[in-house]
Structure 1
């Protein structure tokens, strides 16, 4: 019985620590509300990649106590928004894709919940079940959102099958 109580306390403590890290990252991100970052694709260094040579822009724009929306522009394409939400399960990161008329793309709202490896400056978001069903090839995706220590750069990084898939580095101007 004592062992069970210790296990319950350890699990509860780990959940509280993870929730605190989620909250700290959310606060860091919120503190940049209204700021625009300009970036470029770093990886893959492949001229055939959809984003190759395109100017990237992210605008930490719409912020509430529960949600942050970050429109992500690729060249002239404004169809993407990243959404970070506080939920009962922790931070949730989603990719909202829209057509020009504002209707949802058929591949939209994929992402996942923050894992327990994050901190004030960085969070990892492994693909959730919805993502695995929507895009089976993405079931092993892990997105990482990171600020550098000076908070002048923001890095969007994606792994699939534990290998680098995409990386963009944004700088505030």
Structure 2
């Protein structure tokens, strides 16, 4: 957002699916204490929705950093011809943002640390 280029979604193709990680950086490019969390693909209830429950690495990091509330996080993406959706869900919290793919925007500058 704006001049904050600290967040990057990292998608990795696996032999049995995919992995989503969140790479958080400081302005100088160094890693944030809370970085590279995410999980491996679990297919959603309908085509075009992909869910990534928190993996063991993420849960251990959340515990170590006193963020136990995040241990039940499930991230999801949805994609079709018209929109890309990013979602974070856990008991008591739902964050969801939709991007309109029919309205191109200029590419952002590189993330910090790239």
TM value normalised by structure 1: 0.51
Q: 1:103 aligns with which of 17, 27, 30?
A: 30
* Distance of 2:45 and 2:22 partners within structure 1: 19
1:144 aligns with 2:71: no
Distance 2:93 2:6 in 1: 24
- TM-superposed CA distance for 1:118, in Å, is 6.1
Q: CA deviation at 1:164?
A: 3.9
RMSD: 1.8
Aligned counterpart in structure 1 of residue 86 of structure 2, from 156, 159, 165: 156
Corresponding residue SS for 2:43:
coil
Q: Residue 117 of structure 1 corresponds to which residue in structure 2? A: 44
Give structure 2 stretches of 5+ with no counterpart.
Answer: 63-67, 104-114
- In the TM superposition, residue 89 of structure 1 has moved relative to its aligned partner by 4.9
TM-score by length of 2: 0.75
Q: Which has the higher helix share?
A: 1
Structure 1 residue runs without a partner (length 5+): 1-73
- State how many pairs are aligned: 97
d(CA) in 2 for partners of 1:170, 1:116:
21
Partner Cα separation in structure 2 for residue 138 and residue 122 of structure 1: 21
Q: Is the 8 A contact 1:143 1:157 kept in 2?
A: yes
* C-alpha displacement of 1:120: 5.0
Q: Post-superposition shift, 1:92? A: 0.5
Distance of 2:52 and 2:7 partners within structure 1:
18
Which one has the largest radius of gyration?
Answer: 1
Which residue does 2:17 correspond to in 1?
A: 90
